[in-house]
Amino acid sequence: MIFFDIDGTLIDHLSASAAASLSFYDHFSGRIPFAREGFAEIWEAIVDKHFNRYCRAEISMWEQRRARMREVFGGERLSDAECDSRYSFYIREYESMTSAYDDAADCLRDLNGMPLGIISNGARDQQTGKLERAGLLQHFSVLVFSEDVAIGKPAALIFEEACRLAGENPSQCVHVGDDLTADIAGGLNAGLRVVWLDRMRKFTHVEAAARIEHLAELGSVLKPELAHVEKR
């Protein structure tokens, strides 16, 4: 089984998040205590800060969304309902802007015949929606999200649950992802083979991890798995 991460691997989260954050900023103009210039980076840092708390099972999915809103709006005292209302504007913008990377569809078609799965941090409905809108969802037979197991990558539990559902030992599974902590360290610690998709060209050396810059290169590092399928 070959598992894929979603954001940063198959779906261009950062571009959509940056564009949606500026739409959000303009919609709430005058109420956000940050300059518009550089706001996309500030927004992403706030998102990461609270989403990582959710992945560590410190707060719920909705609590991390509300924490984002309260930090973005600084001194405003926001009720849960107001946080949810403001978040809903952002997520509508974000979902309308998400799209697959150019190499994603071709990569998945080239892996036709291989069992494919998803291991992703986030809410199931939101994440499967991204894949469906991008025309990629039909490729995957096993999908596991942090929402399903109450903890996210890099915790071993989410990888182990995905392998269990696939009916495979972790040593027989591959995980492809872009995040060195969540995907690569997490996958290795759970006993999976990992492939680091280094789209940002950080060129960090990671022991026991194959490194690629584009999904078009994935087949070259999966030759044993692909050869096994061709022989069946």
Per-residue pLDDT tens over the stretch 97-135: 999 999 999 999 999 899 999 999 989 999 999 999 999
Q: 226 pLDDT exceeds 70?
A: no
Q: Does domain 2-12+100-231 have CATH number 3.30.70.60?
A: no
Say how far apart CA 166 and CA 141 lie, in whole Å: 8
199, 28 contact by CB (below 8 A): no
What mean pLDDT is predicted for residues 28-33?
94
Instruction: Name the residue ranges covered by the structural domains of the chain.
Output: 2-12+100-231, 13-97
Give the full edge-to-edge strand order of the sheet including 142-145: 142-145, 116-120, 2-4, 174-177, 193-197, 209-212
What is the percent of the chain where pLDDT is above 90? 88
Say what the pLDDT of residue 202 is: 84
Q: How far apart are CA 180 and CA 150, in angstroms?
A: 21
Neighbours of 200 (CB within 10 A): 10
User: Looking at this protein, which amino acid is placed at residue 122?
Assistant: G
Element (H, E) at 197: strand 193-197
**Any alpha helices (H) in 73-221, and if so which ranges?**
80-97, 104-110, 124-133, 146-149, 156-166, 186-189, 218-221
Question: Tens digit of pLDDT for each residue in 53-74?
Answer: 999 999 999 999 999 999 999 8
Q: What is the pLDDT of residues 138-187, one digit of tens each?
A: 999 999 999 999 999 999 999 999 999 999 999 999 999 999 999 999 99
